[in-house]
Structures are given as C-alpha cells and as structure tokens.
Structure 1
Amino acid sequence: MSVKLPPKTVNHCYLCAAPLHHKVTWRKLLTPTKEPVICDKCHQRFERVTPEQQKYKDVTALYHYNEPMKDFLHQYKFLKDVVLSEVFREEIHQHLKDEQTIIVPIPMHPEKQKERTFAHIDELLNAAGIPFTHLLEKISPITQSSKTKIEREQSDQLFRLKVHEAIKPTHYILVDDIVTTGTTLQHAKSLLIEAGAEKVTALTLIQG
C-alpha cells in the first residue's frame, strides 16, 4: 500500500533566502493552492504582462523579460537550478488547469537536453501539476537565441512530428519559456495545423 506524503513546506525564499511566512486563510482552505516558494519582495520584481501588452495573437505571456526575470531564467536554465521550476507553478497551474486541450511542450534537442541535464519546459509543467504530451521533436541542436532576428524569421522548419503520433482535430496549447520573435511557436503551430489540429494557441512564461 502506497502512502501519499504531504507536500513539503518551503520555509525560505528560493531566490533571496528570506524567511517565508505562510498565512492560513479561508480561501486557501476552501480552494487549495500551492504555497509560494519565493517571498513577496522577490515576486513583486517580476512584471506581469497585461492583456493590452500581449504582442502575439493566440499567445498568452505571463511576464515581461525584465532584469529579475533574466536573472531567474539564467539561474534556472543555464546554472541548472531545477528547483526553480516551482517559482511560477501556481500561475501556470491557474492558466492551464481547466483547459480541455492537449498540452504540448516545446521540446529540446536531445543533445541540448543532455547538456542541460533536464527539460526545462517539462519541469515547469510538472511543478504546476499539468499533464502534457510530447508530439514534436527538435530537428537541430542550434538554439534560436544564438540567431539574429532575421535569421530566426528565415529559419527552416524547426520541428518534426514524433513517429506514430496522430494529431486529432482538437485544440492544442503549446508551452514555452519565452516568446521573442514568435518564430518557434509559429513553426510548431503550422506543423500541428498541417497535421490536422483544429486550433493551436500558446502559453509562455515570458514575453521578450
């Protein structure tokens, strides 16, 4: 018989190590949410993207790419601090929890994943408790961040469908960490639409 362990309590901010003071409210008791893992001061440094500031049609971005977010992304992705996948888990959970869709993370190339040791989009979704399905494979290990804007916009197709994966005529949501020119998401979207998807939208943590 398996025993379900209670969720761990985080007592110090993941970003500045300040003590965390968790408040018990009726709202939390009636609608359980995941406890924050960063302090209010650190959280306030991240700038939310308003509906009027969304740059791309059918793409919802949660935060702007300001200096605190740049530091966070560097520590998470490149310094391999995988525990930081929990920082925005509640925001991601709230945006995707009720969606009657198929959630598709933008994949990493196997070489790049081996180098970084974990798939950062998968970990964001795992932390948020959102089920997902891998339908795409990255063709080249070259990252979009290493290209100029013109090179990104003129890129050949970045992805291919995984073998034996059937695309249903339904709604898919792509999930990525950051949208800058929109090229990555557009390539993934066009591939899914051509394969039979009825609708493809996207959620990103950051808007560059």
Structure 2
Amino acid sequence: MNVCLLCEEETNRSLSWRQFFLLDAPPVICAACRQPFERITGEGCRICSRTDSEFITNGVCFDCRRWEEDPVYHGVLAANRSLYLYNEAMKAFIARFKYRGDYVLARVFAEELKAAAKKIDYDVVIAVPLSEERLYERGFNQAEALAREAGLHLIDVLQRVHSEKQAKKSRAERLQAPQVFRLKEKSAVSNKKVLVIDDIYTTGSTLRQAAHLLKQMGAAQVQALTLARGQGS
C-alpha cells in the first residue's frame, strides 16, 4: 500500500494502467493533496517565470527589466524556470519541508523537477547552499534535497556566508544585500553551462548573486530551476 506523504491516506486506490504494470511510479501524494498546488502554465516572463501579466511587457517583467538595467547583474542569469506558484498550499508545503525538517517531502515533486531539468541545456548542477549555521538549524539543505531526489548529480563548488534569514528581509534589503557566496573551485564551472537549483524564486537576488559569482569565475551560462515562484515581488 502506498501512503500519501502529506495526509498519510492511501494513494493507490485508483492506479493508472501504467502504474498498475509498474511502467510509472505510483503517486507519492494523493489527488486531494495535490489539487491545491497551482502549476505554472502559459506565457509569463521569459526570464523569471512570473505570471501576473499586468507586470509583464514584451515577455519580460518589470523586476527582470530592472535587473537587466543594472550593469552588475545584466545577463548573469539567463533564465529561471519555476514549476509552481507560491500559493497557500505551496507555502504550507515548504514550511513543513524546509523549517520542520521533513526531508521525505523532497520526493513529492521529484519527477516533475527531473522532467523539467531534462528540457534545460546544462553541463553541471549546483544546489544553492546554506550557511553552516542554517544547515545545523534545519538538518539538511532543502535545495540539495530537491535536486538529489530528482536524480540530479550535484557538484559542490559554492559556499554560503552566514547572514540573516532571507525570509525576514524586506524586498529592498534583499536587493541591497552584499555578496553571500564564495566559490570553492573555479575549474569546475569554467566554460560550463551551470544549472542552479533552489526551492523558491522571490526577488531573484539570491540566484543572481550566485550567478554573478559563477559568471565571474568563468561559467559560460547560468540558468536556474526552482520549485516555486513567488508573485507580487
């Protein structure tokens, strides 16, 4: 019997014929728990996956336009692909996964992240790192967990300096934050197309800081794949 990782009810009461003959893996959460999550579909910002159309002009949102006008960050992040909106269901999921240490929840969207990664042209994969202090608090790196459960092979080249939690910072504070990453090994990214994995894209400051450093160290291109995209930020 397969049990839903969120509500612990049975998930395999109505298997498809592909799941019945073991051609596809059975679902890890039930249909009722999956229903509130909102998959991102249709046209949005081609850089960051933002979907609220009133903030998008000619395929680019006003936030990304401002980033691209900044000489420091212009062109550092080629694109971010987010799979889901950061709605109430996703907020609750990530709070349980990220802050309550429920590592097994990294499996919930593993197949979708794996499929999305296959559509991206990259050479190496990096998970956004936590500082040692945050890693000690949480017990694991949520970005790394998502990547590993999706079957992505990670290289360990970025190190994060301890700083105040991003969730506690205002948008302006995030945008003005000093560089929080250090590169452990330059040769691993030199002339490589890098895919960076994280859980949420909010303002884009964390990913762009990582991308800026990777580009400085010789990366040919930096793209990102995130589970959720915050709106209105």
Scaled by the length of structure 1, what TM-score is found?
Answer: 0.87
Say which of 187, 190, 193 aligns to 2:215. 193
> Which of 42, 45, 70 is the equivalent residue of 2:33?
42
For residue 125 of structure 1, give the secondary structure of its aligned residue in structure 2. Answer: helix
Q: Distance in 1 between matches of 2:42 and 2:162?
A: 33
Q: For 1:148-187, what aligned pairs fall within 5 Å after superposition?
A: 148-163=170-185, 166-187=188-209
Code of the aligned partner of 2:43: E
After TM superposition, give the deviation of residue 100 of structure 1 in Å. 4.3
CA contact (8 A) 1:34 1:90 kept: no
Asked if the contact 1:46/1:66 (under 8 Å) is kept, the reply is yes
Structure 2 counterpart of 1:23: 15
Q: Residues 124 and 189 of structure 2 are in contact (CA less than 8 Å); yes or no, is this contact kept in structure 1?
A: no
Mapped contact 1:93–1:130 kept (Cα < 8 A) = yes
1:106 aligned partner: 128
Alignment pair present for 1:92 and 2:113? yes
SS of corresponding position for 1:72: helix
- 1:181 partner letter: T
Of residues 90, 100, 116, the one that matches 1:69 is: 90
Q: Flag structure 2 segments of 5+ consecutive residues without an equivalent.
A: 51-63, 65-77
Q: Name 2:100's counterpart in structure 1.
A: 79
Aligned partners of 1:26, 1:112: CA distance in 2, in Å? 41
* Cα separation, 1, equivalents of 2:104 and 2:28: 10
Give me the whole-angstrom Cα distance separating, in 2, the residues matched to 1:60 and 1:25: 31
- Residue range with higher mean Cα deviation, 73-82 or 42-51: 42-51
Deviation string for 1:21-60 (max 9, x for gaps)? 1625348869x54432101121121001124231266000
In the alignment, is the contact (CA less than 8 A) between 1:137 and 1:159 conserved in 2? yes
1:109-161 residue CA offsets vs partner (Å, 9 max, x unmatched): 01110111111111112211111112111112322111110000011111110
Gaps of 5+ in 1: 1-9
Task: Count how many residue pairs are aligned between Structure 1 and Structure 2.
Answer: 198
Distance 1:165 1:144, change over 3 A: farther
How many Å separate the matches in 2 of 1:114 and 1:70?
22
Q: Is the 8 A contact 1:63 1:206 kept in 2?
A: yes
Aligned to 1:59: 80
**1:130 maps to 2:121:** no
Contact 2:126 2:156 in 1 (8 A): yes
CA distance in 1, matches of 2:170, 2:194: 29
Please, which moves more after superposition, 41-50 or 107-116?
Answer: 41-50
Q: Secondary structure at the match of 1:201?
A: strand
Does structure 2 conserve the Cα–Cα contact (< 8 Å) formed by 1:167 and 1:197?
yes
Partners of 1:165 and 1:33 in 2: how far apart? 38
